[in-house]
Chain A
């Protein structure tokens, strides 16, 4: 199968959906000629024109609000938020307006909007351009949240997001834009709420999101050398969450580590660990372990930044401890 970058995959998904449906449009800062600072959208304005690839001033609450209004009245906007860190600026439009319109109107109004943004540290971009804020929006009923872990998921999930009648937030990892993966040429969509078992294993389950899927896969390779057979699962969307797949794996292996790049406290890892604890407790041989980013603003200095995010070695270390029973007898 041909391999393309995550960036190309997103570009293809958008182009295909824009060809298929005239009501799909892109709006955001420097999305047209510049094709965004990451060059993900290059070429789209040439095909679809400035009427459907719309450059805005630096006015995030304004253009997200316009997206919500446009979505309520018959279009499918893909709103481009240049950095996930700017979510804080648009929280009212996203969480008070987009997320609640369907419910508050008793099902009369809906907001088929996609907010495309990013996440991920270790780019030396410091505290306001490195955050992974998906837990913030996953907390809000009414929003769906997708976290592609490779070019394949980035394409399939984007196409599903655009066709979804609800507001969807998609987080792409900035560090993966140039990573290649096999992506079929023929059209495909990835349904929301369907986890992907990246690697089957018997001894321990590693649940990872976004780039942490790769971290888990590398950890699994390290563990395999020592005879530990790890299963790696990518939920792909955290809202909706494929709880059944996660529980099934937990029951099979009886040990689970959840790895995610959001801050560890009050994050995705806690939510997933909590559900497994509630529903698979009697099948477990060890407590479910959470591994998130350190609970500190992302530091600029490379000497500090690199230790804030889980690495394959960290995950493997914890897996060994869980396997040896060390975690159970600790404390």
Chain B
């Protein structure tokens, strides 16, 4: 594994965050299977090192844009379990008061500009956030997360061109998990993805997305340089989703073999790999790690119970938040 010069605390936080994401997803999947969650959701399990490696290189004030597979980005950027689970269940205390749900969680307080149910839909938004930083002379960096499938969207090429022309502080982070829905990446992407960014004169990297230290090391370097005005950058992170495209995609052997899934889970799991490294380096003992895991599991279970018991928004909220300047009764009351 690649080495970085961060300290023990940073390593442990990265581990914790990865386990928190896995734990969040295990619970979300359970909520779906027990028919407690409205609708469907897309699991981030298996890709934890990508979100954590990158978000650990960011400040709270830095921005990210996320995707339909967005729980990992959201947790990694600092969100709380309670508000997230409440949102998944459509409850009033959710990050978006139940209006957004899994595919639209936004956490303004931590710089998460929101998940997006339109593939590639956040590419313009991320580039615009970087534009703001430049215009207002802030040193914020924006990371735009998207999948391999999203590289087929024309919007990306339009905004990369402008980002490169104007040297915007944006990092395009492509999570290449080998599939878009039920189709293999090689069937939908011609040529090389990194070469596409390079065609715009954008420095492009490919990195093992299961190695959190490698991801973090690269991210730290690129974020620092983007802050100095050397951006934009592109990273292709090679990773894998453990579940189906969404929680309902259970019989998937027609497009992906069980052996392939098994190989990634057993031999390339980002959490198992990093845990082994932490122990080997003497940063944490097995017992300490188990204690951390147990604590996270408990946190997640408590948050789920909280969300299940939480109330739905009042029906009168349905037409609140359509326009900013039309004050709804509830907003007037609390103003």
How far apart sit A33 and B188, CA to CA, in the bound complex (Å)?
14
Question: How close is A312's CB to chain B, nearest CB, in angstroms?
Answer: 19
- A58 in contact with B154 given A125-B39, A300-B38, A301-B312 (CB within 8 Å): no
- B118 CB-CB contact with A under 8 Å: yes
Which residue in A30, A62, A126 is a CB contact (below 8 Å) of B181? A30
| Shortest Cβ distance from B322 into A: residue | A296
Majority SS at the chain A contact face: loop
Question: How close is A143's CB to chain B, nearest CB, in angstroms?
Answer: 22
| Shortest Cβ distance from B319 into A: residue | A296
Q: Are A59 and B100 in contact (CB under 8 A)?
A: no
Q: Are A297 and B188 in contact (CB under 8 A)?
A: no
- A58 in contact with B153 given A33-B255, A128-B103, A304-B318 (CB within 8 Å): yes
- A123 in contact with B99 given A296-B322, A303-B315 (CB within 8 Å): no
- B46 CB-CB contact with A under 8 Å: no
Give B136-161 as 1s and 0s: 1 = Cβ < 8 Å from A's Cβ atoms. 00000000000001101110000000
How far apart sit A127 and B39, CA to CA, in the bound complex (Å)?
12
How far apart sit A300 and B318, CA to CA, in the bound complex (Å)?
10
Q: Are A301 and B152 in contact (CB under 8 A)?
A: no
Question: How close is A103's CB to chain B, nearest CB, in angstroms?
Answer: 26
- B9 CB-CB contact with A under 8 Å: no
- A294 in contact with B318 given A34-B255, A300-B39 (CB within 8 Å): yes
- A124 in contact with B154 given A34-B183, A300-B100 (CB within 8 Å): no
Give A115-132 as 1s and 0s: 1 = Cβ < 8 Å from B's Cβ atoms. 000000001111111000
Majority SS at the chain B contact face: loop
Q: Are B99 and A33 in contact (CB under 8 A)?
A: no
Question: How close is B99's CB to chain A, nearest CB, in angstroms?
Answer: 5
How far apart sit A37 and B181, CA to CA, in the bound complex (Å)?
9
Which residue in A124, A127, A128 is a CB contact (below 8 Å) of B38? A124
Which residues of the partner chain B approach A11 to less than 8 Å between Cβ atoms?
none
Question: How close is A227's CB to chain B, nearest CB, in angstroms?
Answer: 32
Question: How close is A295's CB to chain B, nearest CB, in angstroms?
Answer: 7
Which residue in B90, B103, B180 is a CB contact (below 8 Å) of A301? B90
Question: How close is B331's CB to chain A, nearest CB, in angstroms?
Answer: 15
How far apart sit A304 and B330, CA to CA, in the bound complex (Å)?
15
Question: How close is A104's CB to chain B, nearest CB, in angstroms?
Answer: 24
Which residues of the partner chain B approach A56 to less than 8 Å between Cβ atoms?
188
Which residues of the partner chain A approach B103 to less than 8 Å between Cβ atoms?
125-126, 128-129
Give A24-49 as 1s and 0s: 1 = Cβ < 8 Å from B's Cβ atoms. 00000110011001000000000000
Question: How close is A245's CB to chain B, nearest CB, in angstroms?
Answer: 35
Q: Are A129 and B117 in contact (CB under 8 A)?
A: yes
Q: Are B181 and A300 in contact (CB under 8 A)?
A: no
Which residues of the partner chain A approach B118 to less than 8 Å between Cβ atoms?
85-86, 89, 128
Give A64-90 as 1s and 0s: 1 = Cβ < 8 Å from B's Cβ atoms. 000000000000000000000110010
Q: Are B149 and A58 in contact (CB under 8 A)?
A: yes
| Shortest Cβ distance from A63 into B: residue | B152
- B165 CB-CB contact with A under 8 Å: no
Which residues of the partner chain B approach A29 to less than 8 Å between Cβ atoms?
181, 183
- B167 CB-CB contact with A under 8 Å: no
Q: Are B100 and A303 in contact (CB under 8 A)?
A: no
- A55 CB-CB contact with B under 8 Å: yes
| Shortest Cβ distance from B252 into A: residue | A34
- B120 CB-CB contact with A under 8 Å: yes
Could you pull out 30 A-B pairs where Cβ atoms are within 8 angstroms? A30-B182, A33-B182, A33-B254, A34-B255, A55-B187, A58-B188, A59-B152, A59-B153, A62-B154, A85-B117, A89-B118, A124-B38, A124-B39, A125-B40, A126-B39, A126-B99, A128-B116, A129-B103, A294-B319, A295-B322, A299-B98, A300-B99, A301-B38, A301-B90, A301-B97, A301-B313, A303-B90, A303-B315, A304-B312, A304-B318
> What 7 A-B pairs have minimum CB-CB distances, sorted nearest first?
A300-B101, A301-B90, A124-B39, A57-B152, A301-B98, A303-B312, A124-B38
Given contacts A124-B90, A304-B313, A304-B318, 7 further A-B contacts (CB under 8 A): A33-B254, A55-B188, A62-B152, A62-B154, A125-B117, A300-B38, A301-B90
Interface, chain A (partner B; CB < 8 A):
29-30, 33-34, 37, 55-59, 61-62, 85-86, 89, 123-129, 294-297, 299-304, 307-308
